[in-house]
Structures are given as structure tokens and as C-alpha cells.
């Protein structure tokens, strides 16, 4: 028996549950409220406000795809000042998922929507002058509906594990090698999480109702059960989550064209992010301002996408508004305050405004031929948002 798994195996042995193990303890309460709390410790505030690196030679900062999550904007602003002490030119717009947020005169959001033509959920970035957001009554209602519907995936995720959904669980177990003891351990703890959410639903902010509640709760069990066992749980949870997401009905999302139409009525800028994940969206002919050709998880086809956009612009010279070439850092600020053993892959290393492809010598050749630079994109996109 692996000593790092001994505690869990003593509590659940061959499916037999130790007496009282299913009861919610004070420790369970403490972990749950730690996971759903947006309060930052002095150390966490320092992690945000005082980054351990600087980019003193970067004069232009373009950041139009990043997620504040629950981190206060004043701390993020301090971080930006430290990262880029000599910046002269900037366009920095937050894009929280399905929630408009503002920063220094601009506002943005990343919207989940549904493209019926190729039967797929896609995401688009919307950017505004902050004054236009005051008129966004219908769009805000659409986003609230989308936010609520997207949050419902957490309950489907928990229900799949607790009830359980046999096909999904067997598929995830087959993919990850999860044994019955681990599956039962996860089921019991997810049931506790569901109960605690139900007990405190009236006082919990809607923003905590995300799939990551489960991941974060189990990460807090590492001191008790050890990294190897919790790592196996996280692998299993990820497999279940992917199956749940694949089965998630798309018809309750607003159509991409509906979101774009409403956004244009507010003079919003519209950008397609993650094109590697949504290839058909490039062929759909949507009314957009630009395409993200690089971000930390979508960069395999950066060179190719630049060529495609430049060709499209060359063929449509009669149109004044060309497609902009953009890059996104996709920073998730909530990841930056987590303990090192609880971090989600490379997300904590992402940095607002850091998009290395702008400075790549090979890519730079293509950008120069298209008269594209960070400075020009900032200037042009600011102009479009301000008309």
C-alpha cells in the first residue's frame, strides 16, 4: 500500500465507508469557505501588486484578453505600473467571462455564444468605451442569462459525480485508471460541497459557481492526503469535466450573430480569440474587428494566421476597416495567488501585456510587410472604439 494514500484507503477500503466519514466536519466548512472567499491576505495582495519581473524596454502595452477574476483592479493597476515603468502607449481592457468589467476608460467581456452553422460553442471578445456600457441594457441581460446558464454546468458536473451518471463516470474512469475507492472518495467530498453550496447559496456570490470550485476544494486536501493521491483525483475530475462540457446543450446560449448585432449597436469592438479552437469561425464571415493570432494556449498557427489575415485585407482593399492582427496574454489573475502545488498548468506564468510573438524576429518580418505593430494596433483600435 502506498503510504501517501494510506489515509484515504483507511477511510474507504474496497467501497466500505468508515463511519461518520460522510458527515460534514468543521474542517470541511473551513476548506469550503476558503475556496469560495474573495478575501485576500496581505501576502496574496503583495503577490499581485509586486511582480518579480519587469519589462522596462517595452514602451507599448496591448492587453485586450485577460481575466481579473476576483482580484481588485487597484492591485492589478499597481502590477502594471511595476511591470512597465516606461510605457508610453497602452490599450488595456479586461475581458471577464460573461461579465462586463471596466478599466481606465474602457470595458470588455469574453462572451460564450453558439454558432449554429457549425454547431459549436465559440467565444468572442467585446471591447467598449466605458461611456457606451451605460447604454448596454439589453446586452447586460443577455450576459446575465449566459453567465447563469454557464454556471449551471457546475451543478451538472456535481450531479454526474454524486448520483452518479454511469456512462460518464465509467468513461472517465477508463480514461484515467481511477479505481472504485478513488471514485467513491470523490463522490463523498463532492456531495459535501453540494450540501455546503445549498446551505449557503443565499450568501455566496454568483462568481464562485464555477467548475474550479471542485478542483480548488480537493487541492486544499493535499496536506491530509498527499500530492500523488490528489493529483490522481484532479486527473479524474478533469476527465469528468470534459465529458460534462461535451454533453452540455448549446441551444440555450445566444447565437454569435445575436451577440455581435447587439454589440455593434453599442459601437463595440469585436475580436475572435482562440482561433485554433474555433477554426470554422474564421470562415463564417462574422462582422469583427480582428483576430487573435497568438495566445499562450493557441500559438501553433500564428505565422499562418497572420498570412491569412493579410491576404484577406489585401483582397478587400476597398474597405477602410481592415481586420486587425491581435495577440492576447489570456492572464487569469486568480491563478497568481495559489500555492505552487495547486496551480493550473502554465496559467500562473501568463502575464498581462506579455505576448512574445510581437518581438519574434521571424514573425516580425511578416508584420513589417503588413505594416503591423503593437503601436499601430493600439492607435487604430482605440480610434474605432472612440468613434
DSSP 22-36: TSPPHHHHHHHHHHH
Residue 241 and residue 280 in one domain? no
For residues 160 and 236, membership in a common domain is answered with: yes
Q: What is the mean pLDDT of residues 357-377?
A: 93
> What is the extent of the structural domain holding 352?
51-134+266-386
Model confidence at 285, pLDDT cuts 50, 70, 90, reads: confident
Same domain for 289 and 331: yes
Q: Which pTM value belongs to this model?
A: 0.90
Residues 126 and 220 in one domain: no
pLDDT interval class at 277 (50, 70, 90): confident
Is 232 domain-assigned?
yes
Mean pLDDT of all residues in 106-120? 93
Residues 289, 217 share a domain: no
Of 178, 212, 247, the residue that ends a domain is 247
Whether pLDDT at 124 is above 50: yes
- State residue 17's pLDDT score: 55
d(CA 154, CA 355) in angstroms, rounded, equals: 32
List residues bridging with 255 in a β-sheet: 114
Helix, strand, coil shares of the chain, percent, nearest 5, are 55, 15, 30
| 127, 156: one domain | no
- Do 63 and 15 reside in the same domain of the chain? no
- Kindly indicate the confidence band of residue 1, based on its pLDDT and cuts at 50, 70 and 90: very low
Cell numbers for 56: 522596462
Q: Cα 19 from chain centroid?
A: 39
101 and 171 inside one domain:
no
The answer to whether residue 19 sits within a structural domain is yes
Residue 364 shares a structural domain with residue 226: no
- Same domain for 60 and 188, yes or no, is no
For the stretch 299-334, pLDDT in tens is 888 999 999 999 988 887 656 689 999 999 999 999
The domain tally of the chain equals 2
Q: Are residues 156 and 226 in the same domain?
A: yes
Domain for residue 258, yes or no?
no
User: Does residue 304 lie in a domain region?
Assistant: yes
> Which pLDDT value is given to residue 161?
97
Domain-located, residue 139:
no
- 71 and 113 assigned to the same domain: yes
Is the model's pLDDT at 55 over the cut of 50? Answer: yes
What does the pLDDT look like over 186-245, one tens digit per residue?
999 999 999 999 999 989 988 899 999 999 999 999 999 999 999 999 999 999 999 999
Whole-number percent of the chain with pLDDT over 70: 92
pLDDT digits (tens, 9 = 90+) for 188-200: 999 999 999 999 9
Amino acid at each position: 500500500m502506498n503510504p501517501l494514500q494510506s489515509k484515504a484507503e483507511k477511510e474507504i477500503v474496497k467501497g466500505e465507508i468508515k463511519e461518520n466519514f460522510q458527515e460534514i466536519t468543521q474542517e470541511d466548512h473551513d476548506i469550503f469557505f476558503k475556496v469560495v472567499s474573495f478575501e485576500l491576505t496581505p501576502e496574496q495582495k503583495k503577490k499581485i501588486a509586486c511582480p518579480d519581473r519587469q519589462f522596462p524596454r517595452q514602451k507599448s502595452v496591448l492587453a485586450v484578453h485577460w481575466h481579473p477574476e476576483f482580484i481588485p483592479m487597484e492591485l492589478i493597476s499597481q502590477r502594471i505600473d511595476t511591470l512597465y515603468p516606461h510605457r508610453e502607449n497602452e490599450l488595456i481592457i479586461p475581458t471577464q467571462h460573461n461579465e462586463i468589467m471596466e478599466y481606465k476608460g474602457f470595458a470588455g467581456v469574453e462572451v460564450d455564444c453558439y454558432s449554429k452553422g457549425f454547431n459549436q460553442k465559440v467565444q468572442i471578445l467585446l471591447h467598449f468605451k466605458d461611456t457606451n456600457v451605460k447604454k448596454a441594457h439589453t446586452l447586460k441581460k443577455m450576459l446575465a442569462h449566459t453567465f447563469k446558464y454557464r454556471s449551471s454546468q457546475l451543478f451538472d458536473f456535481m450531479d454526474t459525480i454524486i448520483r452518479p451518471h454511469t456512462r460518464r463516470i465509467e468513461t472517465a474512469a477508463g480514461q484515467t485508471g481511477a479505481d472504485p475507492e478513488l471514485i467513491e472518495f470523490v463522490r463523498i467530498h463532492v456531495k459535501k460541497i453540494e450540501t455546503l453550496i445549498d446551505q449557503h447559496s443565499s450568501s455566496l456570490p454568483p462568481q464562485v459557481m464555477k467548475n474550479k470550485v471542485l478542483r480548488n476544494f480537493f487541492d486544499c486536501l493535499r496536506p491530509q492526503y498527499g500530492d500523488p493521491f490528489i493529483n490522481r483525483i484532479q486527473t479524474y475530475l478533469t476527465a469528468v469535466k470534459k465529458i460534462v462540457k461535451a454533453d452540455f446543450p448549446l441551444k440555450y446560449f445566444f447565437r454569435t450573430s445575436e451577440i455581435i448585432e447587439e454589440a455593434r449597436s453599442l459601437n463595440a469592438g469585436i475580436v475572435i480569440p482562440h482561433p485554433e479552437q474555433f477554426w470554422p469561425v474564421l470562415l463564417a464571415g462574422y462582422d469583427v474587428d480582428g483576430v487573435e493570432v497568438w495566445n499562450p494556449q493557441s500559438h501553433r498557427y500564428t505565422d499562418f494566421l497572420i498570412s491569412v489575415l493579410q491576404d484577406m485585407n489585401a483582397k478587400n482593399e476597398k474597405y477602410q476597416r481592415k481586420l486587425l492582427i491581435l495577440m492576447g496574454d489570456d492572464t487569469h489573475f486568480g491563478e497568481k495567488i495559489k500555492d505552487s502545488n495547486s496551480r493550473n498548468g502554465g496559467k500562473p506564468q501568463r502575464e498581462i501585456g506579455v505576448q512574445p510573438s510581437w518581438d519574434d524576429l521571424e514573425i516580425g518580418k511578416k508584420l513589417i510587410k503588413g505594416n503591423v505593430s503593437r503601436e499601430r494596433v493600439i492607435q487604430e483600435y482605440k480610434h474605432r472604439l472612440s468613434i
